[in-house]
Amino acid sequence: MKTPAELPILMSQRSTLTKDLAISFLMQQGVENPDCLSLAAGLVDPETLPVEETLRAAQQVLATRESGIRALQYGTTPGSAQLRSELLTYFADLEKCSTESLGIDASQMILTTGSQQLLSLVCETLLDPGDICLVAGPTYFVFAGNLAGVGARTVTIPSDDQGMDPAALDHALEQIASMKELHRVKLIYAVSYYDNPSGVCLSTSRREQIVEIAKKWSREHRILVLEDAAYRELRYDGEEHPSVWSFDQERANVIYTQTFSKTFSPGIRVGFGIVPKDLVTAICERKGNEDFGSAHFNQKLIATVLRSGEYQGHLAKVRDGYRLKRDAMLAAAQKYFSDLPGVSWVHPKGGLYVWMTLPESLESGFDRPLFSQAVKHGVMYVPGELCYAGPVEDRPRSQMRLSYGVLPVDLIDEAMRRLADAVRETQSARTSNDVSS
Ligand SMILES: Cc1ncc(COP(=O)(O)O)c(C=O)c1O
């Protein structure tokens, strides 16, 4: 007879849908190889973290006993009224219009624990097992995990240097409709600025077309576009794009999310969502079940730095720092990879990532020689195949996501040199195997 401690724990069916092996493997590799230079981590540059700004904001929030007590008490499920109204002004600035002409009110602004929580809440609120979400290929791999976690099906839409291809999106919806599955389509997900992982920024005309396509195929129910604008403010050059959200005149088809993790601090972890009016209650009820409100104190900190202008000052410094690092990575790519045939990479105008494509014969997965060779040389990357939703066998296998977020400029150069050496050696080992067999 087994003791209670020896008996198995029975997990829910839903929990078995969640698989986090890739990220755990990467983290373990990091721990086992402490000298490895990581181009894999999508973390924020530690040098930019706003210690002094946050201290000043905390002093302000805690300046009187009354304001301190308010901040340290539970907040409400949708979040601090002060920050939500501050964010309407902030968002109107981004959209280059007045708060009135945004056409929304503060009730549609929901504060979350990072934008990740909003992505997860949207999946939980909208998607039943078997429902369909259309995503770009490649896409943000954590969101692909959210979709898998609720048992949703994904349809991958090809993406090029202007982002998700609207003609392919329209065609996919036509095919889904012809298979009588349109009623299962709930969402189109797009990382609209400097995508994670591809670095690509969705072109303005495609933004408008994607909204039109969502409306066109909204027949019996509304198909929503989930616009993930996590990197919107990390623009280093190139034109400023209006949001996808701005093309939805009725404010009915687009859910917009943004975060202060990348531009201020992921430790504070404040994100927000702007949702159509008739989705507010469902999202808030779900959020109520989870946490009945994200950290109130942190929301007060963000409201304080937005109001004082410290946020904007900090953002300017962060942008300058990342621009230098982006340039360092592109210069190193040119220096070490340009003589390698069949290798190409995206030149991002913002964000944290360079997306590199290798010749098809050079697969980049964890179990491939290139990954082991890279670790042997002391460098790590995210294999591109992890950044696709849907069946593993259909994914491209010879791409890499390289992040310039964490390493300082000189180490970015060194990491890229090591990576190019690993690519070259793996390539020549393959060639000599081919010759001898
Ligand atoms: C595209 C994208 N969306 C959302 C997030 C979530 O960030 P947070 O939850 O810290 O706001 C990330 C984080 O890396 C991201 O890359």
Return phi, psi of residue 319, to 5°.
-60, -45
Angle at 37 between CA 35 and CA 38, to 5 degrees: 125
Contact 186, 126 (CB under 8 A): yes
The 10 Å Cβ neighbour count of residue 126 is: 20
How remote is the CA of residue 425 from the centroid of ligand 1, in Å? 34
Atom number, ligand 1, closest to the C-alpha of residue 352:
16
pLDDT by residue, tens only, the chain of 437 residues: 899 999 999 999 888 887 766 777 777 777 788 889 999 988 889 999 999 999 999 999 999 999 999 999 999 999 999 999 999 999 999 999 999 999 999 999 999 999 999 999 999 999 999 999 999 999 999 999 999 999 999 999 999 999 999 999 999 999 999 999 999 999 999 999 999 999 999 999 999 999 999 999 999 999 999 999 999 999 999 999 999 999 999 999 999 999 999 999 999 999 999 999 999 999 999 999 999 999 999 999 999 999 999 999 999 999 999 999 999 999 999 999 999 999 999 999 999 999 999 999 999 999 999 999 999 999 999 999 999 998 888 899 999 999 999 999 999 999 999 999 999 999 988 777 766 65
Half-sphere exposure of 362 (CA within 13 A, CB side): 26
Q: Enter the DSSP assignment of 346.
A: -
Q: For ligand 1, what atom is nearest to the CA of residue 140?
A: 1
**Structure tokens that stand for 416 in this block:** 């890229």
> Cα(339) to centroid of ligand 1, in Å?
34
pLDDT at 436: 63
Strand partners, 110: 273
pLDDT of the residue at 20: 65
What is the residue whose two structure tokens read 């977020």? 405
Provide residues with CB under 6 Å of ligand 1: 42, 114-116, 140, 191, 196, 228, 230, 259, 261, 266, 269, 271
Q: How far away, in angstroms, is 230 Cα from ligand 1 center?
A: 6
Q: What class, spelled out in words, does domain 10-49+313-430 have in CATH?
A: alpha beta
Interhelix angle 141-149/114-126, nearest 10 degrees: 30
Ligand 1 atom nearest residue 262's Cα: 10
Is 88 in a helix, a strand, or coil? helix
What does the alpha-carbon distance between residue 419 and residue 429 come to, in Å, rounded to a whole number? 15
For residue 299, the 8-state DSSP code is H
Give the integer Cα–Cα distance in Å for 156 and 172. 9
Residue nearest to atom 14 of ligand 1 (CA): 42
Which numbered atom of ligand 1 lies nearest the CA of 116? 9
Residues 6+ apart with CB under 8 A from 367: none
C-alpha distances (whole Å) from 222 to each of 16, 182, 342, 394, 437 are 30, 11, 43, 29, 57
In our burial notation (b when 16+ CB lie closer than 10 A, e otherwise), range 318-351 reads bbeebbebbebbbebbeebbeeeeebebbebbbb
Domain 51-310: which CATH number of 3.40.50.10740, 3.50.50.60, 3.40.640.10, 3.40.50.300: 3.40.640.10
Nearest CA to ligand 1 atom 8: 114
Domain segments of the chain as ranges: 10-49+313-430, 51-310
Asked, colleague to colleague, whether 10-49+313-430 and 51-310 share their fold, the answer is no
Report the distance separating Cα 395 and Cα 143, nearest Å.
16
The burial class, CB within 10 Å (0-12 / 13-18 / 19+), for 311 is buried
What are the angstrom distances between the C-alpha of 43 and each of 13, 37, 352, 375? 32, 13, 9, 19
SS3 content of the chain, % helix, strand, coil (to 5): 50, 15, 35
Distance 116 CA to ligand 1 centre (A): 6
Bond from prior residue into 197 cis (ω within 30 degrees of 0): yes
